[in-house]
Structure 1
Amino acid sequence: MIPLAARVLEALPQTQCTRCGYPDCAGYAKAIEAGDAGIDQCPPGGAEGVIRLSQLTGRPAGPVNPHFGIEGPRMLAVIDEAWCIGCTLCLDACPTDAIVGINKRMHTVIEPHCTGCELCIPVCPVDCISLETATPGQTGWHAWSQRQADHARQRYEARQRRREKPEPATERAPAAPVDRKRAIIEAVLARARAGKSQTETSKP
């Protein structure tokens, strides 16, 4: 018989957003199996998601617990490429490798791979990432197909396998943190200069 955690995992939208309080969808599924988590902690799954989990666990269904968020449309991360400093912090945060770019170069989001998890937002030092509604008028599982969930899970698991492999010491540049700090400072100064220029231009 397939373990309950595996069946619960199949029923989750695979956004890997951590809003449930666990590091990923698999962690949440295991917590549900162990009785450590409620079935109402997944805002991306919404009310239908709670019903799916109720049918699997036998627990009573109800609304999504607002402590973990509210059901809403699927979001899409968008990078303002004019302000992106190429710090790569968003690359590290994205659970499905939906963001591409290299150090000190403009990054961009590959729309079909983005789950709208929002994890890239808080790590951006220059606030150049915003969210756009990808499914206006549709929320929960109505905004997220099983095919999309399967695709997101495959990308997340592939990323996890890759990250578990030890990296050769030569691939890690010790000066990377310094480069990032320098890039952030340069971006802030550039913004300040741009704002000053606009102010002077608008003066009569």
Structure 2
Amino acid sequence: MTESKTFADLIEDLLPQTQCTKCGYPDCRAYAEAIARGEASYNQCPPGGAEGVARLAKLLGKPVIPLNPDNGVERPRPVAFIDENLCIGCTLCMQACPVDAIVGAPKQMHTMVAELCAGCDLCVPPCPVDCIAMIPVTGDKTGWDAWNQQQADAARARHDARRARLAAEREAAEARAAARRAAAAAAGGPASSSTSTAASSPTERATAAPAPVSDAEAKKRAIIQAALERARKKKEDNAAQGLGPKNTTNISAETQAKIDEVEARRRRLGIATDDSESTPTQNNGQPDKL
């Protein structure tokens, strides 16, 4: 028996599934649900373009209206390109990519799998060294002419798989933390349990004395710091040539939270950054001017 689809399901089926957040929502599903509830207009999806608005208007029984310029413009589909000479392996772009199109590891050069890139731009703002450029690959074709249903379905599948993987990783981490707390409580009684709980709080971790640094850890930090210094010099050279940063796209609150979390982790590790290496922050829901 075929499963009955909700109105939000039907709307989501008409979206390009780039998960770019330009509509103002964290992903295509959230936007579809907002349209179904009457909380969002059907002209807020730049990747779908004019044809996307027409498709949604037909489903909703409403007139075709122009794409809302506040959400962006219809354009040829771009693919992210990572400059290997500048990449420092910080993994911020990997964490921002909603369709797992970036391959890499901490402190190793990252690579974009062009066939999987949805052109969402979300990997660009987090990059602390501006090593990612969005390169148009569809000529004059824009909107749904630059994207097809097969690509949309594949992007949705990767996005859903990524969400499931992240949820499983969070659950596993919570289970490990609960097991450690239980083991500490069993070994030390109520006092130990209380101490463990207090020590695991963010405030306690932030104010606790730093642990001794081993020679290997010191060497690792020195390597990372040297990479940041090289990136800083490259950024200064680009600025001298009038080449400004490429980080010009909006950052969703969810993505910004992930960036902030990684930056906080880097600070706890003692990896120094200055303002030129810091990631963009939100001002009343808008990105900083660059």
Q: TM-score range by the shorter chain?
A: 0.7 to 0.9
**Distance across 1 between alignment mates of 2:74 and 2:15:** 14
Unaligned runs of 5+ in 1: 198-204
The answer to whether structure 1 residue 137 and structure 2 residue 177 are counterparts is: no
| Correspondence 1:171-182 to 2 at 5 A | none
Equivalent in the alignment of 2:226: 186
State the match for 1:167 in structure 2: 172
The alignment partner of 2:105 has SS state of coil
Structure-2 separation of matches of 1:96 and 1:63: 28
2:16 to 10, 13, 17: 13
Give distance in 1, aligned partners of 2:149 and 2:52: 12
Deviations 1:107-139 (A, max 9, x none): 000011100000000000010001100111000
> CA–CA distance in 2 between the matches of 1:91 and 1:104?
12
Counterpart in the other structure of 2:117:
114
> Secondary structure of the equivalent of 1:167?
helix
* CA distance in structure 1 between the aligned counterparts of 2:236 and 2:164, rounded to whole angstroms: 47
Amino acid aligned to 1:167: A
TM-score relative to the length of structure 2: 0.61
Contact 2:80 2:135 (C-alpha < 8 Å) held by counterparts = yes
Q: Which moved more, 1:61-70 or 1:159-168?
A: 159-168
Shift of 1:188: 3.6
Greater relative CO, 1 or 2 (CA 8 Å, sep 6+) = 1
| Equivalent of 2:46 in 39, 43, 46 | 43
Please report how far the alpha carbon of residue 179 of structure 1 lies from its aligned counterpart in structure 2 after TM superposition: 11
Which residue in 2 is equivalent to 1:201?
A: none
Q: CA deviation at 1:14?
A: 0.2
The answer to whether the Cα contact below 8 Å between 2:19 and 2:26 also exists between their aligned partners in 1 is: yes
Show the counterpart of 2:80: 77
Shift of 1:2: 2.2
1:145-177 CA-to-partner distances (Å, cap 9, x unmatched) read 10000000000000001111123359xxx99xx
Q: How does 1:138-157 map to 2 (within 5 A)?
A: 138-157=141-160
Of 112, 124, 129 in structure 1, the residue corresponding to residue 127 of structure 2 is: 124
| SS of structure 1 residue aligned to 2:115 | helix
Which stretches of structure 1, 4 residues or more, deviate above 6 A after TM superposition? 178-184, 194-197
- Cα displacement string for residues 61-85 of structure 1 (whole angstroms, at most 9, x for unaligned residues): 1111001001001110000011110
How many residues align? The count is: 192
Instruction: Tell me: CA distance 1:184–1:125, structure 2 relative to 1, closer, same or farther (3 Å).
Output: farther
SS at match of 1:130: strand
Following the alignment from structure 1 to structure 2, what is the Cα–Cα distance between the partners of residues 58 and 167? Answer: 45
Between the two proteins, what is the percent identity of the paired residues? 50
Corresponding letter in the other structure for 2:95: D
Write the mapping of 1:25-64 to structure 2, written as runs, cut at 5 A.
25-64=28-67
Q: TM-score, normalised by structure 1?
A: 0.86
